[in-house]
Structure 1
Amino acid sequence: MTVVDARPDHLAVAARFADAPEQWPVAPRFNPVDRWYHRLHVADDHEVWLLTWLPGQGTEWHDHGGSAGAFHVFGGTLTEDTVALTDGRPPRVTSRELGEGAGRRFGSHHVHRMTNRSHRPAISVHVYGPALTTMTKYRLGAASLEVLTVERAGAQW
């Protein structure tokens, strides 16, 4: 008997939306104060978001409340920092720069931050499955991640 994984390939979904900007219900906007975002699509098992990033804009350390997903850089360059925690050792941060056309999958326990460290605006498409209900924001301490807040969909975003 073959077991079929019915979950969508989040990276393929993100790339498919990035490949069809003429079908986006809104044009990307840039906000000099905060990152701009708009939900492009929602299905029973995932949702798709469009985000824009001016130079210097980024997120705090955060997770996706148990949702897995992926992101695809539509334009510009973004830097993703991830953190690895190993008992008894200081947290280890790894940075990866992703340019136009690059993408990355992540699991349901992924903690990261993303920043536009370039001198050009950036646009990205993000897919989360299941749809986001919470996001936990963290502070990176000397020995661990400390929870700052837990934000809820519909209340904080």
Structure 2
Amino acid sequence: MTAVDIRLDHLAIAQRLAAHPESWPVTPRFHATERWYHRLASEPDYEVWLLTWLPGQGTDLHDHGGSAGAFHVFAGALIEETVAAAATGTPRVTARELGTGAGRRFGTRHIHRITNRSTQPAVSIHVYGPALSTMTRYRIGATSLDVVTVERAGAQW
């Protein structure tokens, strides 16, 4: 078995921060109409974001502009839907629920959306390496995944 360097393991970074919420520079906040987020750390190889989700809040389908990463559910439950091309050419959506303490890593080509479909607020920690520079938003078309917009760090978030 190969040892994982936790300094570069995005999920391990998120789990380490989740284990010490007293070290966060902010307390999680909730906003009635949109997700709240705050960057917890910016390092040469990665950045870390704290996000909150009230019931019904979520993201559009998006990628991370070539960054790999991970997210860890600190509290509550989130649904992650991932998109992959099917043999027919029509994009296929797969959903999974991640509850408190669960997390997952993802690669540089990962496309997903995250939603809080529960009745309770949720808090999650997201790590991206390298730091996000762009995010492409998508919609599912009849036979393909269509680009809606490309957002840039510093301009849209």
Structure 1 length as normaliser, TM-score? 0.94
The residue aligned with 1:96 is 96
Partner of 1:148: 148
Distance 1:134 1:150 in 2: 7
Q: Which stretches in structure 2 are left out of the alignment for 5+ residues?
A: none
- Structure 2 SS opposite 1:58: coil
Q: Percent identity?
A: 70
Residue 70 of structure 2: aligned partner:
70
In structure 2, the partner of 1:58 is: 58
Q: 3-state SS of the aligned residue for 1:13?
A: helix
* 2:134 corresponds to: 134
Residues 114, 133 of structure 1: alpha-carbon distance in 2 compared, 3 angstrom cutoff: same
What's the TM-score once normalised by structure 2's chain length?
0.94
Paired letter, 2:134:
T
CA distance in 2, matches of 1:33, 1:120: 15
> What do residues 98-153 of structure 1 show as CA deviations (whole Å, max 9, x unaligned)?
00000000000000000000000000000000000000000111211100000000
Structure 1 residue runs of 5 or longer lacking an equivalent are none
Q: Tell me the amino acid that sits aligned with residue 105 of structure 2.
A: R
* Number of aligned residue pairs: 154
Q: Does 1:39 align with 2:39?
A: yes
